[in-house]
Amino acid sequence: MIVNMSEKATEQEINHIIERIREAGYQPHVTRGTERTIVAAVGSGRRHEIEALQVAPGVDNVVPIAQPFKLVSRQVRPERSIVRINGVEIGGPEVVVIAGPCSVESREQLLDTAHAVKRAGAAMLRGGAYKPRTSPYDFQGLGLEALKILSEARDVTGLPVVTEVMSTEDIDIICEHADMLQVGARNMQNFALLRRLATVNKPILLKRGPSATVKEWLLAAEYLLSGGNSQVVLCERGIKTFETEMRNTIDLAAIALARDLSHLPVIADPSHGTGKQSLIAAVSRAAVAVDADGLIIEVHPCPERALSDGPQSLDFAGFGRVMRALAEPLRRTASVPPTVPAASQNSP
Amino acid sequence: MIVNMSEKATEQEINHIIERIREAGYQPHVTRGTERTIVAAVGSGRRHEIEALQVAPGVDNVVPIAQPFKLVSRQVRPERSIVRINGVEIGGPEVVVIAGPCSVESREQLLDTAHAVKRAGAAMLRGGAYKPRTSPYDFQGLGLEALKILSEARDVTGLPVVTEVMSTEDIDIICEHADMLQVGARNMQNFALLRRLATVNKPILLKRGPSATVKEWLLAAEYLLSGGNSQVVLCERGIKTFETEMRNTIDLAAIALARDLSHLPVIADPSHGTGKQSLIAAVSRAAVAVDADGLIIEVHPCPERALSDGPQSLDFAGFGRVMRALAEPLRRTASVPPTVPAASQNSP
Amino acid sequence: MIVNMSEKATEQEINHIIERIREAGYQPHVTRGTERTIVAAVGSGRRHEIEALQVAPGVDNVVPIAQPFKLVSRQVRPERSIVRINGVEIGGPEVVVIAGPCSVESREQLLDTAHAVKRAGAAMLRGGAYKPRTSPYDFQGLGLEALKILSEARDVTGLPVVTEVMSTEDIDIICEHADMLQVGARNMQNFALLRRLATVNKPILLKRGPSATVKEWLLAAEYLLSGGNSQVVLCERGIKTFETEMRNTIDLAAIALARDLSHLPVIADPSHGTGKQSLIAAVSRAAVAVDADGLIIEVHPCPERALSDGPQSLDFAGFGRVMRALAEPLRRTASVPPTVPAASQNSP
Amino acid sequence: MIVNMSEKATEQEINHIIERIREAGYQPHVTRGTERTIVAAVGSGRRHEIEALQVAPGVDNVVPIAQPFKLVSRQVRPERSIVRINGVEIGGPEVVVIAGPCSVESREQLLDTAHAVKRAGAAMLRGGAYKPRTSPYDFQGLGLEALKILSEARDVTGLPVVTEVMSTEDIDIICEHADMLQVGARNMQNFALLRRLATVNKPILLKRGPSATVKEWLLAAEYLLSGGNSQVVLCERGIKTFETEMRNTIDLAAIALARDLSHLPVIADPSHGTGKQSLIAAVSRAAVAVDADGLIIEVHPCPERALSDGPQSLDFAGFGRVMRALAEPLRRTASVPPTVPAASQNSP
């Protein structure tokens, strides 16, 4: 932490800061410039006490130096983590595709979808039982009935199941039926939920909040790891920006960044990330190119009749096309233009 | 709801849409243009079934017409609502100032603050017992102990108390001690929490989420009203934007807009809205000018020693200055420049 | 400037940085922590050379300390600047209201409007001659004809005139007819334009870009001042955010912040800032409450027939209501609730 | 265009709208619902006259139906356009890589870079002569001298050259030396510049503005095409969001979307899009996967000594690694988990 004194700071104000840095458990190091003085807080003390000095007299601002997260960091664990869900490995050499409907709507709808996505190459099944909906008048999910249907689908297809948990009260029942628990984007900073999920023996899929920075996302994961659950997969699903043509702006570079900063696997959700059927294949390929460890994609037998997220859901044929697109090579880079004449002679 | 067919839509595709609109409980009205056809869904049916038609063949897009919220709307209730908290009225002719520390840190800290803010003119006391913190390593609040201290402060000062609820599990104990329950910005779309708070007989302070549109905010309130709790006060506390100089961008125009769209009272939080001590007075005045029904302001005996939100907290003297600023008149509008000579003779 | 070395930086890498800081004209000061080393660049040298060290081996990041702007800063000039436009003073004790149509559409339209806004208390007249339009198919302004009409309106009403300049090629002709030149939001970082306007002997109204931070805005003003033109008025007109209900999100707190950081006058544009007729009065009041030095408001004889910006334009009666709203006092703060019993005994 | 009347609209207000729609050259079609009436404007008339009805009495809002751009649209030209720059084809089957320094700093720097990027497989050379810099105190480019150096580099390497044009006044001289003219992100809506570039016989590289929607970007291109220049390449370079860890948020899905909506080629700028050396390779691959027609990448002989954009510039070895990364296949999709053999009966 570095405390920048203002140009008009008095000697007394500088001394006050030096003293407060000692009180907070750090060692103060003073650098006196021609215009201003800076005081570094060295060692490890109580971070928030230095942060609060921002309002002490004579202080311009306080600048953090180190990253605030620890256990999720590659400094603590340089090798990549692998999260295992009932035989499926996320974070290993292969890309894991999770597919299924936004909401479980009926036994038939889910089983048909489960078989279809398995045939097309999906490794896991998704399906919402408890749905976070912007409006109280929208379909809120089938709850326990949906969990039972998911369980059955896993039994008949062998695909491990992930479903969203919205409340601490539902954790136990969901753990009985699902193989992985999802924390939705709007609950990324529901700390009560995170703290309870930290004590659960199930892997967690942690979606990035629509207005969360990468740092805040990693700190949400830190709640899980510091509480005892290190089976965490991060999921980029788009952030809110001024662009209205797509539902969200999917931040694919953040996948590369999160993998640089953290050892946790990171997957992408092109369905919520774009909100548009027609963009899913291209964005899925891009996510894999940027080294995502997996994809989670919404698939529905008949998107135009879906009770939720129809516009971004693929039908079975569409999902098949996406899976095939993932196997295609990248477009070739242009070689140097052949029409150019004497160009090559001068190049070393 | 209006379904815009693409320019290439076939007669068969248009007929499919007409049929689906009937299935969803609406009456279809077709308008055929020179280039494209639009089909309106008239009456009241199942909205999501029309929304999902966005992916039906031949459809360009689906445009909603009516606002999605009902009970919070001024169309349902044109007169303004007043929320009463133990003798204090939010939404009436006077601006209600709620003040207190971000977190309750000790009995002495809270009682001193409660007396100070009362003296300066605050009508209610705030103080966090359960704290939502970005990092698991930050101070998480004193919990039940804090609730008891808040209760005591209310008893000795008479100021009604508002505190944040982060989890359904804490609702009962908080209801015992507090007069109003706050839903924090990061929990605005914690629908499990909202559904439970809808059944509680306490007024709710509902903060706008950092990436919530005004519509999403009103729909979150709709969860409370449609579940049975109409004692809801909205609170604008800033949204996340690209600007980094301030903690958030406080959207004061949204206060005017929310009051246009809804009958619920709306207050402003200039502390989180700016994150900067030095801007609180000016932004508080602006919030009142834009017709906010109240303010919620962070005050701490010694901000540079606060366990949370120090940089945006006022000390007692600073809070006094803010309260006095609220009583000052607006700066006077310039009259027409006196140097201009014969100008006026020509004006009609 | 502070260079944070990574935890794994070698002694050689640290020495390289020390040497590079000297080369850049600064003095290096080294602080060695338990985990990492930081090197401060003290004095004044070539800033960009330190910034570029971000990619030198062993460096984590580079943190600027001082603000990058100089002449616009209150550190250089603590007292507030006043900009004089033909007898009108912006930045003085009174709020200056500039009003008029988005575009000059005809002689009659402009003269009628000029008289009307003058009667209502406006001190200056606005009107677009060269219009920046998102689509090439929209009305692009009357150009020179509009400038002549503006000139005439100034002559008959005495109201000084401000109009937008979009291109260096139009500067001379606009200077002949207008009293103040506006740089539009989309041209805030049109540096070629700024450099030429720095040499012009006319006051400049510099709008904040829709995605410009306050720092970038002040640096745009720095182009004008450092080039020789210190008659600059800043104008907040809303930034782009995810909120779609309003045209822009007006950042009123930024007005207070810009006035803290700079001595230049700052005005607000509630018309573009909200895009909604119905919000102009409330937001205008808020801007004055946050200490804006003026307002610029769009007024049209018949907004529903305006060739541009109709939805946010006021008619004459509406503008009169806004002017009267500016004279009303702020809503009163609630006193302490009278129902509270023994509360007062402890408080003085 | 659709005009939604409010629920309280009178018959007279509805008739006024019907009449105004006729005046604007459209045919009105009225749909009367149980709650409200909507009036569609059918055919082709003066769009802005309908937009302005938003403020007519009894109107709730006005909703556009068709896209506002024409010549850039795939509805006008379904096949993809190819832009030819001196023998290089952008928009054809191969990905074109444009590389070079942010600014031309010296003859040696540019020629070394030109040879290096050519060897590594770049097809075009970039280099700034006139630099848009946030601060007036930063390096502003070598101007004409840089143009001459670029010309020489093209002559000796055969790589066509692209450089930025900031002002209408520089167009002629840049056209003499460069093969393609770049409109920078901050000038995307500098309409005076666009209108002049529409008359130039050189291909244009049009960067997306940091706060421009895809629609606004395409409308900026429409200025060029409607003015007579159809040799336009679009370039996504990141938008401004709340995320601070990267310089911009690169919107890769927008590349797929722009290619869906328009026939123009689209390339990506991973250097500005991330601002981080370490992310360039991954994001370049992702851009190609999302079907970008090319890449523009900043390369410098010694990034830590660059006069601009050092932190995001690659050195020669780094650029070579990026080019090799583009040739690697995508990571393989996981097949159905092998541990789940007889899956259909009993999963663990």
Q: What is the pLDDT of residues B245-288, one digit of tens each?
A: 999 999 999 999 999 999 999 999 999 999 999 999 999 999 99
Query: CB of A305 within 8 A of CB of A313?
Result: no
**Cβ neighbours of residue D249 closer than 8 Å, sequence gap 6 or more:** A239, A241, A249, A251, A253, A254, D238, D239, D240, D241, D243, D273
**Among candidate residues D145, B275, D53, B20, the one with its CA nearest the CA of residue A302:** B20
Mutating which of B30, B65, B245, B257 best tests the D interface, going by the most D Cβ atoms within 10 A? B65
**What per-residue confidence (pLDDT) applies to D337?**
40
Instruction: Output the CA–CA distances (angstroms, integers) from residue C2 to A10, C39, C61, C254, D108, in the order listed.
Output: 22, 6, 8, 27, 31
By the CB < 8 Å criterion, does A246 face chain D? yes
Contact C260 B239 (CB under 8 A): no
Nearest 10 degrees: Cα torsion C175, C180, C186, C187: 50
Cβ atoms B294, B264 nearer than 8 A: no
Chain B residue with minimum CA distance to C157: B343
- Contact C190/D187, CB-based, under 8 Å? yes
Query: CA angle B8-B11-B13, nearest 5°?
Result: 75
Q: What is the pLDDT of residue C31?
A: 84
End-to-end CA distance of chain D: 58
Nearest to D347 among A93, A155, A339 (CB): A155
Chains with 3 or more CB pairs closer than 8 angstroms to A?
Answer: B, C, D
- Mode of pairing for the β-strands spanning A96-100 and A294-298: parallel
Contacts for C273 with CB less than 8 Å, ≥ 6 apart: B253, C236, C237, C238, C246, C247, C248, C249, C250, C283
pLDDT, tens digit, 9 for 90 and up, residues C85-95: 999 999 999 99
Chain A residue numbers touching D110 (CB-CB < 8 A): none
Let me know: does A328 contact A338? Beta carbons within 8 Å: no
Write out the residue limits of the CATH 3.20.20.70 domain(s) in chain D: 83-327
Closest approach of chain A CAs to the CA of B5, in angstroms? 15
A289-321 per-position pLDDT tens digit: 999 999 999 999 999 899 888 889 999 999 999
**pLDDT tens digits, D67-119:** 888 999 998 899 999 999 999 999 999 999 999 999 999 999 999 999 999 99
C77 pLDDT higher than 80? yes
Q: Which helix (H) or strand (E) holds D337?
A: none
Q: Residue D278 is nearest to which of A260, A328, A330, comparing CB atoms?
A: A260
Here the tokens at position A5 are 């004194």
Sheet holding D37-42, edge to edge: D27-32, D37-42, D2-5, D59-63
Contact of A64 with chain C, judged by CB distance below 8 Å, is answered with: no
Exposed/middle/buried for residue D244 (C-beta within 10 Å: 0-12, 13-18, 19+): exposed
Q: Which residue of C has its CA nearest to B274?
A: C253
Per-residue tokens: B6:
């693409």
Rounded to a whole number of angstroms, the distance from the CA of D20 to the nearest CA of chain A is: 29
- B91-105 residues labelled b (16+ CB within 10 A) or e (exposed): bbebbbbbbbbbbbb
Contact C219 D307 (CB under 8 A): no
Amino acid, single-letter form, for residue D74: R
Give the DSSP H/E element, type plus range, for residue A40: strand A37-42
- pLDDT > 70 in chain A, percent: 96
Find the CB nearest A211 among B223, B240, B303.
B240
| Chain D residues with CB-CB distance to A335 below 8 A | 94, 121, 123
Helix (H, G, I), strand (E, B) or coil at C60: strand
Q: Is the dihedral of CA C151, C153, C157, C163 positive or negative?
A: negative
Q: How far is B23 from chain C (nearest CA, A)?
A: 31
Ranges of CATH 3.20.20.70 domains, chain C: 83-325
Using a CB-CB cut-off of 8 Å, the residues of chain A touching B53 are 304
Residues of A in contact with B54 (CB under 8 A): 304, 310-311
For chain C, say whether A76 makes contact (Cβ under 8 Å): no
C-alpha to C-alpha distance for B301 and B309, rounded to whole angstroms: 13
pLDDT in tens, C104-116: 999 999 999 999 9
> A252-261 vs A214-226: helix axis angle to the nearest 10?
50
Residue type, A74: R
Structure tokens at A28: 């103060």
Among C49, C45, C33, C81, residue whose Cα is nearest residue C225: C81
3-state helix, strand, coil in chain A (%, to 5): 40, 20, 40
The lowest-confidence range among A77-81, A138-142, D48-52 is D48-52
Q: How many CB atoms lie within 10 A of CB D31?
A: 21
Label residue A61 by pLDDT band (50, 70, 90).
Answer: confident
DSSP-derived secondary structure for D2-17: EEEEPTT--HHHHHHH
Best CA proximity match to D48, nearest among C232, A60, C133: C133
Tens-place pLDDT, residues A137-158 = 888 899 999 999 999 999 999 9
Instruction: Summarize pLDDT for B173-217 with one digit per residue, the tens.
Output: 999 999 999 999 999 999 999 999 999 999 999 999 999 999 999
Q: Which of A148-152, B20-24, B28-32, B248-252 has the lowest mean pLDDT?
A: B28-32
Query: Does residue B345 have a pLDDT over 50?
Result: no
Segment B309-324, tens digit of pLDDT: 888 999 999 999 999 9
**Stretch B108-124: mean pLDDT:** 97
CB A325 within 8 A of CB A285: yes
Whether C38 has its CB under 8 Å from any CB of chain A: the answer is: yes
Residue span(s) of chain D under CATH 3.30.70.1140 come to 2-63
Name beta bridge partners: C163: C181
Alpha carbon of C211: minimum distance to chain A alpha carbons (Å): 10
Q: Does D160 touch chain A (CB under 8 A)?
A: yes
Structure tokens at D227: 């003015």
Chain C environment of B256 (Cβ under 8 Å): 279, 282-283
| Beta carbons within 8 Å of B232's beta carbon, 6+ residues apart | B72, B83, B203, B204, B206, B221, B224, B225, B264
pLDDT of residue D335: 61
Tokens 């059944």, located at residue: B199
Question: Residue D166 contacts by C-beta under 8 Å, 6 or more apart in sequence?
Answer: C190, C191, C192, D130, D132, D184, D187, D193
Question: In chain C, which residues have their Cβ closer than 8 Å to the Cβ of A60?
Answer: 65
d(CA A195, CA A224): 7
The verdict on a CB contact (< 8 Å) between B332 and C257 is no
Per DSSP, D141 falls in state: -
The fold of C2-63 is Alpha-Beta Plaits (3.30.70)
> ipTM value of the model?
0.91
Sequential DSSP letters for D171-199: HHHHHHH-SEEEEPGGGTT-HHHHHHHTT
Residue B298 in this model has a pLDDT that exceeds 90: yes
Burial bucket for residue D193 (CB in 10 Å: 0-12, 13-18, 19+): buried
Strands (DSSP E) along B202-345, which ranges?
204-207, 232-236, 266-268, 294-298
Mean pLDDT of D271-275: 96
**Residue C166 forms contact with D (CB below 8 Å):** yes
Which of D7, D34, D43 is facing B34, going by the closest CB pair?
Answer: D43
Q: What are residue C42's DSSP bridge partners? A: C27
CB contact under 8 A, A189 and B136: no
Going edge to edge, which strands form the sheet with B27-32?
A: B27-32, B37-42, B2-5, B59-63
Q: Exposure of A66 by Cβ count < 10 A (0-12 exposed, 13-18 middle, 19+ buried)?
A: middle
| Superfamily holding D83-327 | Aldolase class I (3.20.20.70)
Beta strands in chain B (DSSP E): 2-5, 27-32, 37-42, 59-63, 83-85, 88-90, 96-100, 124-126, 161-164, 180-183, 204-207, 232-236, 266-268, 294-298
**Position A72, amino acid:** V
Q: Facing residues of A182 across strands?
A: A164, A205
Under DSSP, is residue A277 helix (H, G, I), strand (E, B) or coil? Answer: helix
- Three-state DSSP at C295 gives strand
Which residues, in sequence order, are bridge partners of residue C198?
A: none
Name the residue in chain D with its Cα closest to that of A340.
Answer: D158
Q: Which of residues 187-206 of D touch B (CB under 8 A)?
A: none
Closest of D229, D263, D261 to residue D79, by C-alpha: D263
Neighbours of B173 (CB within 10 A): 15
- Say whether D158 and A254 touch across the interface (CB within 8 A): no
Partners of chain B (3+ Cβ pairs below 8 A) = A, C, D
Write the residue in C35, C36, C40 that is nearest to A31 by C-beta.
C40
Closest-CA residue to B312 (of B250, B247, B268): B247
CA distance to partner chain B, nearest, from residue D251 (Å): 15
Confidence check: pLDDT of B134 > 50: yes
- Among the partner residues B160, B260, B329, nearest to C329 by beta-carbon distance: B329
How far is Cα C223 from Cα C182, in angstroms, rounded to an integer? Answer: 15
- Percent of chain C scoring above 70 in pLDDT: 96
Q: Give the distance from residue C113's alpha carbon to the nearest chain B alpha carbon, in angstroms.
A: 11
Asked if C275 reaches chain B (Cβ–Cβ under 8 Å), the answer is no
Q: CB C260 to CB B245 under 8 A?
A: no
- Per-chain mean pLDDT for chain C: 92
Average confidence (pLDDT) over A56-62? 89
Which residues from C are below 8 Å from B246, CB to CB?
Answer: 253-254, 257
- Structure-model confidence comparison of residues C6 and C272, the more confident one: C272
How confident is the model at residue B68, as a pLDDT?
84
Neighbours of chain C (3+ CB pairs under 8 A): A, B, D
Closest CA relative to residue C154, chosen from B347, A59, B132: B347
Q: What is the mean pLDDT of chain B?
A: 92
Which candidate, B273, B207, B91, B216, places its Cα nearest to that of C286?
B273
* Separate counts of helices (H) and strands (E) for chain C: 11, 14
Identify the CATH homologous superfamily for domain C83-325.
Aldolase class I (3.20.20.70)
Q: Would the CB atoms of D136 and C222 count as touching at under 8 Å?
A: yes
Structure tokens given for A172:
């136990």
A82: left (phi over 0), alpha (psi -120 to 50) or beta: beta
Give the model's pLDDT for residue B200: 97
Distance CA(A209)–CA(A186), nearest Å, equals: 6
